[in-house]
Every structure is written in structure tokens, then in C-alpha cells.
Amino acid sequence: MDTPENVAEAIEVLQQLGLKEYEARCFVGLARLNTGTAKKLSELTEVPRTRVYDAIRILEAQGLVEIPHSSPQQFRAVPLEEATETLRDQYEERVERLHDALDTVDVVDDGDEEPVQQIWAMTGRDAIENRTDQLIEKATNEIVLVIGHASLLTEDLVETLNEVDDEHDLIIGTLTEPLQDQVQAAVPDATTFVSGLEWLHGEHTTEDDTAIGRLLLIDRSTILVSSIMPDTKREQAIFGEGFRNGLVVIARRLMAQGLIPARDPQ
């Protein structure tokens, strides 16, 4: 459905992918037209006519717009599937360039001794899920994960969990039996349990309360705990490491609630 909200969102996403505002407006405008002249595109997008030509020239160079030989001159966007694939390739190329550049940057060592206690804050589901995947992949012995909400059992997480080495202990807790069944079906090699942490899902919990997202304990020395904010549904987390870290010590004891005795981190 062609709505102002959809148009605005498309323009915003294109800008996030690297296009300037006029370029994004012109591309979205052409996506709504079979073909369009500079005059018609300017009227539809509210981009000054003189700036339309500049934007179209850049979009053509990026492979997003075609300019047929016609008089008066007209423009058209490439097919949507082709455009999205082109933008995806460009985005991934930029990410690879960023990785390669940062990977060669020298680390500045200030000479200070690294503290034992380390607790860091993180925000955003993508970042937290990426950190979760990295911690699981780096585990050498034991992975204990408590999932607080079914929405966090994503395809990427399931794939990461199913790639855990058979020699590792993979233990996954949930807050409800239905979610436990879902986890067991998705990750059949894991030991699953319904968490005994009653305070995570108490009787008086409401939609206005902050919900527990995930609790992850790696090798009994690294912990990640996230919560989901009730108003924005945005996930926030804290991450700590170090066997002597007080947060890890507490988490080991709390997460043991509901584990079978043989798996209890005592």
C-alpha cells in the first residue's frame, strides 16, 4: 500500500544505506513511476528540478537508475529485486572495507594493568545477538542460556546453538514449558529445563514491567544479561567477564535454579 509512512520509511532506509536525501527521494519517486521526466519527478518528490539531474546522475552511476534515449529525457528505476541486491552488495562491500581497515589499526597500549572487574553496557537487539553468537562460538567448556522471551529464539541463534561442539555442555533454560518444547525441537542436542527463577516470571508481572530477555553464562566466567524495555521493546544488556567478577558469581548461583543436580554450577 502506497502511504506517506511507507514512502518516508523507504527514504529513511536509503539514507541509512548511504544515499543523500535528494537521491533517496528521487529513487523512491521513480520506484512509484514507470518512467518520469525531471519535471514530473520534481513535482512528486519536492526535489528542486535542477537537483533532480544531479541525483539521477549519481543514482545511474550506482546502477540504480536507467536513462533511456528519449526526448524529452526520461528516467526509470531498475527493478526492485535488482536494486535491493545492488544496495546489499554495496553495503556489504563497505562493511568489509571497514573491517579490513580497523583490523590493521594499531592498538594503543596505555600500559595500565587490566582490572579484574569488567562490566559493560550494550543496547540494541542486533548488537546483543551478535555478542551472544560470538560468546557461544568462543566457549570451550560450558554454555548456559536462559531465554526469557520466544522472540529471542531467532533463526541465527538456533543456527549458532546447533553448531556448538558436541564436547561442550549446552544447557538452555526457559521460563515456560511451551518455550522449552520449542527450544528442544529447535536445538535437539541441548539439555533444556524450565528455570526455577520465579522472580523472572512472577505472578504480578505486567506489560509495563521490564522483561528479562536473555541470561548467558559461558564457561562459568563470562556473563551477558539483557532486559527488554516495556515502552520501546528495545533490548539492553550488561556484559561481564572474569572468574572473580561478582556479577558472574551471583549469576552462576541464580542460573543454577532449575538445573538437574549433575549440572548445578555449585
Residue 192: count of CB within 10 angstroms of its CB: 21
Residue ranges matching CATH 3.30.870.10 in the chain: 118-263
For the whole model, what pTM was predicted? 0.66
> Considering only the top CATH level, what class is 4-103?
mainly alpha
Query: CATH topology for 118-263?
Result: Endonuclease; Chain A (3.30.870)
The predicted pLDDT at position 150 comes to 87
% pLDDT > 90, the chain: 48
Residue 69 pLDDT level (bands cut at 50, 70, 90): confident
Q: How far is CA 165 from CA 11, 171, 216, in A?
A: 44, 13, 17
Radius of gyration from C-alpha coordinates of the chain: 25
The pLDDT of 9-32, averaged and rounded, is 94
List, for residues 219-265, the tens digit of each pLDDT value.
Answer: 888 889 898 887 888 899 988 877 666 666 666 666 655 554 444 44
Short-list 138, 257, 249, CA closest to 194: 257
Q: Number of C-alpha atoms within 13 angstroms, CB side, residue 265?
A: 23
Burial class (CB in 10 A: 0-12, 13-18, 19+), 179: buried
List, for residues 182-217, the tens digit of each pLDDT value.
Answer: 999 999 999 998 876 554 554 445 555 667 789 899
Between 263 and 151, the higher pLDDT residue: 151
Q: How far is CA 253 from CA 46, 116, 263, in A?
A: 61, 20, 12
Residue 114 is given by DSSP the state P
Cell 556484559 sits at which residue?
Answer: 239
The predicted pLDDT at position 187 comes to 95
Residue ranges matching CATH 1.10.10.10 in the chain: 4-103
The predicted pLDDT at position 58 comes to 94
The predicted pLDDT at position 117 comes to 57
